[in-house]
């Protein structure tokens, strides 16, 4: 009887322990890749990361244990022949360096992790994750070079993979609409454009039984007209016709698109072993008077393996939702080659383009390796615009800010330093590309192989477009010392100081901080016009453009006493800039709480808007606002997809308060929206924010932040007199500038409600 009682006690004790076990970690990353099993890692000491999960409010990790093994069977038995970290007492859940036996080249390994949490205790083990090593010490053409290689799967089949990059795959898309027209034309609409080819299952029964083959005409294009493809779409919009030979009977065919021929210095061709792609949405099969039946047809859309459910945005403004969806898709669909090389015409990466796509991609999916590779590539393959060089610094800072990982800063520190372009600074404290300082040594230091950098401001500008509508630079007056170039110079110095601090280079931190401070003084001394209260385009210029004012505002160069005049001027200009600069215009307006104005730009329906892109038929963001503004305007370009990150970051207010999102700022800017909700992925897990408001009366805010994080929450209010409730309890916060700040909100789900009180 005693034995039975003891057995019952043990049974219930074991089950209570099992039931009490906290959820397993998820979202495993190896070298910042969510699918390392489909890639190849050339780093001898990879880094691991995971999402800490808990069903307890305010929970955080206090320790972890990692197992690394040479087979999944060993891990299933909790055996580690490579590394058993033991219980490591730390809250660190990202960027954890491997510390086991030396990994061998060209091998497959497996790892898993469990956490010990303050409130929920010991977790279950995570699902094992596979990672593959490649060659560790090979000679590369440039640091960070990544090749296409084949890897063998467990079933013996081989597939193409990228070194240190997220995998790209062909996504199967079925038509949403099809029709038949006269003369044997069959039309198919795949809903959205993608870099793709088309695969089809056809049956051909020849009218003449002696006929052994038939050449079909396959039309593909980006723009439709009713149930046909626009064969003269204008600009750089795609329409192509290809022949395809079929045999009698039923068979499967893949359209053989001619290989892309690089025309630019750093164009990115695909490996010959993979079917070539080109951006299109529509397909027509033209068979004439022959009987060709389409049994099945598939749009083989090539882009990264993405998680479409990783992010979302929806609000009370339908136009805003439509713009977000367009930009979210564009941020992902333009990764067809495993990098940020947009545009069918060039397939070449540019620093500014990649920075904007990096920001958008981080906001819509929890992927970091493609942005990092694009940065590494551009560090050694600089392009010609002066301001683009600054964007390499921006990309390096953003990599660190969103991942908390200092690997890029440490490895490429001297290269990133050179990209600040301090070598071009003259005695007046400003930089110029026209003072003879663009020496061979300087150009070599920034890895630019051309003859000289040229200031760009916006694109296309007057020099590129001739008299064609004056370009997108608002008639910018280019001088020896340009305002926009020096605004970027200042911001690069600010970021460089922060990156120097991150890796303990105190002397450099002080140097770049002091230099940024001196540039700010020189900037305002030389470019600000006290009589007009705004900035001119350059030293000696009497012209003030949108660009020479929005960039200083965006980068914090405008002195407090001049903010109103600069903002008022900017607001007279509307969207007098290209799609590239719209990123910074929106950033500046939201940063200075010009929310209603910024919202009006986001939902504008003129021909200089995202809604116009949709209206003319594009399903990815376009290279320019409209064909009229760029003669070779393409319909597949992510540098115009800024709303993908602007909406979750600025409207919903989700931004890292410290690198790696250990601490988060949530500061909604609702404007006239009555409600909105978003889901934004981060390296530590998803952040959910939703709000409802009765303008001027009440505001309700709900947030969910991951375990192992905290948040500073800013709740909007229209009055200093308010009643604030946090999770059902009356709370006091710090009121300033239309917000009540509540600091250090713990992880989990929280509700904030604020009501304005009568005077």
pLDDT in tens, 226-278: 999 999 999 999 999 999 999 999 999 999 999 999 888 888 888 888 899 99
**Is residue 310 pLDDT above 70, yes or no?**
yes
Cβ pair 740, 734 in contact under 8 A: yes
Cα–Cα distance for residue pair 639/385, rounded to 1 Å: 15
**Is residue 755 pLDDT above 60, yes or no?**
yes
Q: State how far Cα 439 lies from the chain centre.
A: 34
Please name which of 445, 451, 449, 441 lies closest in space to residue 419, comparing C-alpha atoms.
445
Over the Cα atoms of the chain, what is R_g?
28
Question: Do the domain assignments include residue 560?
Answer: yes
Please name which of 213, 460, 244, 238 lies closest in space to residue 344, comparing C-alpha atoms.
238
Domain that includes residue 675, residue range: 663-756
Question: Do the domain assignments include residue 248?
Answer: no
Question: Do the domain assignments include residue 629?
Answer: yes
Q: State how far Cα 243 lies from the chain centre.
A: 37
Mean pLDDT score, 138-153: 90
- CA distances in angstroms from 536 to 475, 529, 543, 555, listed in the order given: 12, 7, 5, 16
Angle between helices 318-333 and 595-602 (to 10 degrees): 70
**Is residue 169 pLDDT above 80, yes or no?**
yes
Which tens digits make up the pLDDT trace of 537-552?
999 999 999 999 999 9
Last residue of a domain, one of 611, 631, 656: 656
643 and 697 share one domain: no
**Is residue 18 pLDDT above 50, yes or no?**
no
Domain with residue 751: its CATH number is 2.60.420.10
Cβ pair 236, 217 in contact under 8 A: no
328 and 457 share one domain: yes
616 and 685 share one domain: no
Which tens digits make up the pLDDT trace of 406-424?
999 999 999 999 999 999 9
Cβ pair 86, 105 in contact under 8 A: no
Which tens digits make up the pLDDT trace of 607-626?
999 999 999 999 999 999 99
Residue 470: predicted pLDDT: 57
Which tens digits make up the pLDDT trace of 557-601?
999 999 999 999 999 999 999 999 999 999 999 999 999 999 999
Cα–Cα distance for residue pair 174/176, rounded to 1 Å: 7
Residue 158: predicted pLDDT: 82
Question: Do the domain assignments include residue 614?
Answer: yes
Structure tokens at 369: 């390796």
Residue 13: predicted pLDDT: 41
What pTM was estimated for this model as a whole?
A: 0.95
Domain with residue 458: its CATH number is 1.50.10.10
Mean pLDDT score, 708-736: 94
**Is residue 12 pLDDT above 60, yes or no?**
no
Give the position of tokens 């290689």: 149
B/e letters for 654-688, b = 16+ CB within 10 Å, e = fewer, are bbbeebbbbbbbbbbbbbebeebebbbbbbbbbbb
Average pLDDT value for the chain:
94
Q: State how far Cα 241 lies from the chain centre.
A: 33
Residue 759: predicted pLDDT: 60
Mean pLDDT score, 684-699: 96
Q: What is the DSSP letter of 71?
A: S
**Is residue 7 pLDDT above 90, yes or no?**
no
Half-sphere exposure of 171 (CA within 13 A, CB side): 21
Question: Do the domain assignments include residue 17?
Answer: no
Give the position of tokens 């479409």: 308
705 and 577 share one domain: no
521 and 599 share one domain: yes
Cα–Cα distance for residue pair 144/149, rounded to 1 Å: 15
Last residue of a domain, one of 656, 691, 716: 656
588 and 494 share one domain: yes
CB atoms within 10 A of CB 66: 21
Q: What is the DSSP letter of 651?
A: I
Question: Do the domain assignments include residue 256?
Answer: no
Please name which of 90, 80, 187, 174 lies closest in space to residue 125, comparing C-alpha atoms.
80
Cα–Cα distance for residue pair 94/30, rounded to 1 Å: 10
Which tens digits make up the pLDDT trace of 458-479?
999 865 443 344 589 999 999 9
Virtual torsion, Cα 205, 211, 213, 215, nearest 10 deg: -90
Backbone angles phi, psi at 198, to 5 degrees: -130, 135
Question: Do the domain assignments include residue 577?
Answer: yes
1 or 659, greater pLDDT: 659
Provide the phi-psi class of 736: left if phi over 0, else alpha when psi is between -120 and 50, else beta.
beta
Mean pLDDT score, 112-133: 97
Cα–Cα distance for residue pair 352/358, rounded to 1 Å: 10
Half-sphere exposure of 380 (CA within 13 A, CB side): 13
Pairing of strands 83-84, 121-122: unpaired
651 and 670 share one domain: no
Q: What is the DSSP letter of 275?
A: P
Question: Do the domain assignments include residue 724?
Answer: yes
Domain with residue 111: its CATH number is 2.60.40.10
149 or 20, greater pLDDT: 149
Residue 5: predicted pLDDT: 42
Provide the phi-psi class of 301: left if phi over 0, else alpha when psi is between -120 and 50, else beta.
beta
Residue 589 DSSP SS3? helix
681 and 599 share one domain: no
Element (H, E) at 117: strand 108-117
Specify the number of domains making up the chain. Answer: 3
635 and 672 share one domain: no
Residue 212 DSSP SS3? coil
Last residue of a domain, one of 656, 680, 700: 656
Cα–Cα distance for residue pair 670/672, rounded to 1 Å: 6
Residue 461: predicted pLDDT: 81
Cβ pair 49, 94 in contact under 8 A: yes
Which tens digits make up the pLDDT trace of 496-526?
999 999 999 999 999 999 999 999 999 999 9
B/e letters for 104-137, b = 16+ CB within 10 Å, e = fewer, are eeeeebbbbbbbbbbbbbbbebbebbbbbbbeee
Please name which of 629, 673, 315, 690 lies closest in space to residue 460, comparing C-alpha atoms.
629
Cα–Cα distance for residue pair 48/43, rounded to 1 Å: 12
Structure tokens at 655: 């931004």
538 and 647 share one domain: yes
CB atoms within 10 A of CB 427: 7
644 and 726 share one domain: no
618 and 668 share one domain: no
**Is residue 668 pLDDT above 80, yes or no?**
yes
Cα–Cα distance for residue pair 412/374, rounded to 1 Å: 14
Residues in Cβ contact with 8 at an 8 Å cutoff, skipping those fewer than 6 apart? none
Cβ pair 550, 585 in contact under 8 A: yes
Cβ pair 553, 587 in contact under 8 A: no
């Amino acid at each position: 009887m005693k034995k039975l009682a003891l057995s019952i006690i043990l049974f219930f004790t074991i089950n209570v322990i099992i039931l009490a076990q906290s959820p397993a970690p998820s979202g495993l990353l190896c070298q910042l890749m969510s699918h390392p099993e489909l890639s190849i890692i050339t780093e001898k000491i990879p880094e691991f990361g995971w999402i800490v999960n808990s069903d307890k409010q305010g929970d955080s990790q206090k320790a972890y244990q990692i197992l690394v093994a040479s087979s999944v069977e060993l891990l299933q038995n909790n055996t580690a022949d490579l590394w058993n970290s033991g219980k490591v007492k730390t809250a660190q859940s990202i960027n954890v360096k491997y510390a086991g036996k030396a990994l061998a080249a060209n091998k497959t390994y497996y790892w898993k992790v469990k956490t010990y949490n303050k409130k929920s205790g010991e977790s279950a083990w995570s699902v094992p994750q596979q990672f593959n090593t490649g060659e560790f010490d090979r000679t590369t053409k440039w640091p960070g070079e990544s090749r296409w290689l084949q890897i063998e799967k467990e079933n013996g089949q081989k597939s193409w993979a990228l070194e240190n990059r997220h995998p790209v795959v062909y996504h199967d898309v079925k038509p949403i609409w099809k029709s038949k027209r006269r003369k044997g034309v069959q039309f198919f609409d795949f809903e959205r454009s993608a870099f793709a080819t088309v695969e089809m299952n056809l049956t051909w029964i020849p009218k003449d039984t002696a006929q052994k083959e038939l050449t079909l005409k396959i039309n593909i294009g980006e723009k439709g007209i009713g149930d046909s493809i626009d064969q003269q779409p204008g600009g750089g919009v795609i329409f192509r016709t290809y022949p395809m030979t079929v045999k009698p009977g039923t068979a499967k065919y893949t359209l053989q698109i001619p290989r892309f021929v690089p025309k630019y210095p750093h164009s990115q061709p695909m490996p010959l072993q993979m079917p070539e792609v080109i951006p299109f949405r529509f397909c027509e099969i033209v068979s004439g008077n022959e009987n060709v039946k389409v049994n099945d047809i598939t749009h083989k859309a090539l882009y990264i393996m993405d998680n479409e459910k990783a992010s979302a945005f929806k609000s009370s403004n339908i136009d805003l939702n439509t713009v977000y969806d367009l930009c979210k898709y564009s941020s992902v669909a333009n990764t067809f080659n495993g990098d940020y090389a947009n545009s069918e015409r060039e397939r070449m990466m540019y620093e500014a383009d990649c920075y904007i796509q990096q920001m958008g991609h981080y906001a819509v999916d929890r992927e970091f390796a493609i942005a990092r590779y694009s940065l590494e590539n551009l560090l050694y393959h600089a392009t010609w615009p002066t301001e683009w060089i600054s964007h390499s610094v921006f990309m390096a800072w953003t990599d660190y800010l969103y991942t908390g990982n200092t690997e890029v800063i440490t490895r490429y520190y001297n290269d990133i330093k050179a990209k600040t372009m301090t070598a071009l600074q003259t005695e007046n404290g400003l930089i110029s590309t026209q003072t003879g300082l663009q020496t061979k040594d300087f150009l070599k230091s920034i890895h630019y192989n051309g003859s000289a950098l040229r200031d760009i401001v916006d694109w296309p500008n007057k020099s590129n477009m001739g008299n064609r509508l004056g370009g997108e630079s608002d008639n910018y007056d280019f001088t020896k010392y340009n305002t926009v170039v020096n605004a970027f110079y200042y911001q690069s110095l600010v970021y460089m100081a922060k990156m120097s601090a991150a890796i303990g280079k105190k002397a450099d931190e002080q140097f770049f901080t002091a230099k940024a401070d001196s540039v700010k003084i020189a900037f305002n001394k030389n470019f600000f016009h006290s009589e007009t209260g705004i900035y001119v385009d350059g030293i000696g210029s009497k012209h003030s453009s949108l660009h020479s004012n929005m960039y200083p505002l965006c980068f914090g160069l405008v002195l407090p006493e001049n903010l109103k005049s600069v903002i008022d001027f900017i607001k007279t200009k509307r969207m007098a800039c290209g799609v590239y600069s719209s990123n910074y215009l929106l950033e500046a307006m939201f940063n200075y709480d010009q929310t209603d104005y910024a919202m009006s730009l986001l939902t504008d329906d003129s021909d200089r808007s995202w809604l116009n892109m949709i209206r003319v038929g594009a399903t990815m963001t376009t290279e320019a606002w409209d064909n009229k503004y760029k003669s070779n305007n393409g319909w597949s370009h992510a540098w115009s997809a800024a709303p993908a990150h602007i909406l979750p970051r600025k409207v919903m207010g989700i931004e890292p308060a410290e690198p790696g999102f250990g601490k988060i700022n949530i500061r909604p800017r609702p404007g006239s929206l009555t409600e909105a909700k978003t889901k934004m992925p981060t390296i530590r897990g998803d952040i959910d924010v939703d709000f409802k408001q009765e303008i001027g009366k009440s505001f309700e805010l709900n947030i969910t932040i991951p375990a192992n994080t905290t948040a500073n929450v800013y709740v909007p209010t229209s009055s200093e007199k308010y009643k604030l409730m946090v999770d059902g309890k009356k709370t006091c916060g710090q009121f300033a500038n239309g917000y009540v700040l509540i600091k250090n909100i713990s992880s989990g789900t929280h509700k904030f409600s604020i009501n304005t009180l009568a005077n």
